Amino acid sequence: EAGVTQSPTHLIKPSGQQATLRCSPISGHTSVYWYQQALGLGLQFLLWYDEGEERNRGNFPPRFSGRQFPNYSSELNVNALELEDSALYLCASSSAETYYEQYFGPGTRLTVT
Amino acid sequence: AQSVAQPEDQVNVAEGNPLTVKCTYSVSGNPYLFWYVQYPNRGLQFLLKYITGDNLVKGSYGFEAEFNKSQTSFHLKKPSALVSDSALYFCAVRPPGRRALTFGSGTRLQVQP
């Protein structure tokens, strides 16, 4: 069974621009979660999508947004990039069958210059 | 609000010795508890979870964790450490009715040969 996949592996963008990160969940999983792992700040919850809808978001500004497609893959968009957005962005997916335990992808390393 | 504390930034142990990585939590109700491991430049790998039932939970790679409700703790243990266990370990809690995980700050485990 293929795990959660994320692309790209690395992304370098100048401040002020937009970044788009992509995630494909494990087959059969309908929920996708996004987390930010920034140096010194630990892992913080960003967004949760389920069945195509945003269900919950963490304490992040609106320039962090995303969507979930009919095939349950997801996209995270970060607008007006700031230097402090530099972080590892982790995507996870879950299903009801395993008490919603979350399985993580390898992450996208975003560097804002 | 929920929180997770991992009081040790780093734990050092000799190969073959038992290891313990500590975690305490603060959350209303009966939470779901998780341990994840992160190797360098990788995403998080699921180790084990506590949902309900037996307080001793067994997981991947010989790890186990003991849930103690009165002490609100969920310490990770392994009877005999391996050098390959050296990694960053995260404890996480999911409050009842919520999907987002709240993570501890992580504990770096260093196993010396």
* The two three-digit tokens of residue B49, written as one number: 């979870």
**Contact across the interface for A48 and B49, Cβ inside 8 Å:** no
The predicted model gives B36-49 an average pLDDT of 90
Nearest CA in chain B to A99: B51
Phi, psi angles (nearest 5°) of residue B59 = -135, -155
Question: Which positions in chain A touch B98 (Cβ < 8 Å)?
Answer: 56
Sign of CA dihedral B93, B96, B101, B103: negative
Among the partner residues A4, A101, A105, nearest to B49 by beta-carbon distance:
A101
Mean pLDDT of chain B: 93
Q: Using the beta-carbon criterion (under 8 Å), do A104 and B90 form an inter-chain contact?
A: no
CB-defined contacts A:B, below 8 A: 54
Element (H, E) at A16: none
Confidence class for position B95, pLDDT limits 50, 70, 90? confident
**Is the CB of A99 less than 8 angstroms away from the CB of B45?**
no
Taking an 8 Å cut-off on Cβ atoms, the answer to whether B100 and A48 are in contact is yes
Could you report the per-residue pLDDT of A32-74, keeping only the tens digit for each?
999 999 987 789 999 999 999 999 999 999 999 999 999 999 9
Q: Is A63 on the interface with B (CB under 8 A)?
A: no
Rounded to whole angstroms, the Cα distance separating A78 from A85 reads: 8
pLDDT at B97: 82
A90 close to B (CB below 8 A): yes
Say if residue A95's pLDDT is above 80.
yes
SS3 A98: helix
Residue matched to tokens 């409700």: B69
Contacts of B15 (CB under 8 A, 6+ apart): B81, B82, B83, B111, B112, B113
Q: How far is A81 from chain B (nearest CA, A)?
A: 23
User: pLDDT grade, residue B46 (50/70/90)?
Assistant: very high
Chain A touched by B102 (CB under 8 Å): yes
